[in-house]
Chains A and B, each alone.
Chain A
Amino acid sequence: MSRQSNRAGDPRKVNGELFTLTYGALVAQLVKDYENDEDVNRQLEKMGYNMGIRLIEDFLARSNVGRCHDFRETADVISKAGFKMYLGITPVVSNWSPAGDEFSLLIENNPLTEFVELPEGHNALNYSNILCGALKGCLEMVQMDVDVRIVQDQLKGDSITEIRLKFIKRLEDALPAGED
């Protein structure tokens, strides 16, 4: 009857709307539990970080992506492999800084924000902040300290959602024994 019934369900995939709404339920709960938007942002980033440090293992195990040689390659892998694999979207990499240590991911169809409207009085809320945390967590596990933040947000009336990533330093200490 429904289109769904004709399709063989992929066991490695989950209904995106269930995911979107589940995330929405979480954010709504956080907004209820915390006093201000900054605290919610912080909590979302923390949760994203926790997800990121575990997600990277799954990614490395399944994607066959080797070591990146420079930050530009990293940016490509994040967009074309990482986002594609886990959220089903491919953000555009752009706005490189002249030094090549800073770029933006431009997201047009953010699956997190489908069905979402920010109510009045939550202008400081970065609804998709979990993405920042996840990116930071992932990159930290591959020895990169990167500053990640949302600079444009479609929920706040911008035409696109832009996440800015700035390379800070390599984390040499975290190198596991036996590598290199």
Chain B
Amino acid sequence: MPIFNYSLGIYSHYFFSLSLSLSLSLSLSLSLSGVDIERSSLSVNMSGGKQRISNLDKPLGKGRPEVNIATFALLFSEIVQYCQNRVYTVPELQNKLSELGYHVGSHLLDLFFLREKGYKREIKLLNMLLFVKSNLWKTLFGKEADKLEHANDDERTYYIIEKEPLVNKFISVPKDKGSLNCAAFTAGILEAILNGANFPAKVTVHWHKGTTFMIKFDESVIARDKVVEGK
């Protein structure tokens, strides 16, 4: 860098000296400061303009921001009400909530694998399920899921049991909609995470021991897992 400045100084001295005959040292310092000013004005122009900074240009936040549970609960309540006004039946409402959850889950997946798994994907079914039950649940809801079970009669089916899901904490289900479980939203998140991690599955929500998320994997997942595990 100094070499560059110096040669520039010589250059400007050459031009200056034609008319002003300034001393070499003076013109050198002049040109040096001139370069500096130019550089700083350049950076001002770049940051001062209405230039959009893409999210990808920003580092991924490390901190885990938190918001009040009331803020989240009220937002979720608005979401449920909004969805309810656009559908006729309880299953439709649950589908709608699940769709919104899917949207959330598909965005969460990247965050999780970047932060918690050190860029490594998970290829074993059981590990993936344990990751969901422990890490994912803990990060999202502040605690691990209560239970993870495997159906006795169907190797494709697993259950994650949660006594009191966060999203249901402040929801009292009206009598005429007894089967409604708003944790369909969480089921949507789960489904997106599993599908995104290449464990295609359907996740449905049921009232059983609190709330049970029934995860039914695609045949291919079970077949692949047998190969992976070398059974």
Contacts and interface: CB of A to CB of B under 8 A. Distances in A.
**Interface majority SS on B: helix, strand, loop or mixed?**
helix
Interface string B55-86: 10000010011111111101111110110001
Contact of B52 (A9, A17, A157): A157
Most buried by B among A15, A26, A50: A15
A25 B68 contact: no
B139 interface: yes
B103 A55 contact: no
Contacts of A11: 69, 142
B66 A13 contact: yes
A15 B140 contact: yes
B67 A4 contact: no
A14 B52 CA distance: 30
Interface in A14-67: 14-26, 28-29, 33, 43, 47, 50-51, 54-55, 58
Contacts, number: 132
B64 A55 contact: no
A43 B82 CA distance: 10
B65 A16 contact: yes
Contacts of A116: 55
A21 B67 contact: no
A2 interface: yes
Nearest to B169: A11
A19 B67 contact: yes
B155 interface: no
B75 A26 contact: yes
Interface of B: 50-52, 54-55, 61, 64-72, 74-79, 81-82, 86, 99-101, 103-104, 107-108, 111, 115-116, 135, 138-143, 166
Nearest 6 CB-CB pairings of A with B: A16-B65, A9-B142, A25-B103, A157-B50, A51-B74, A13-B66
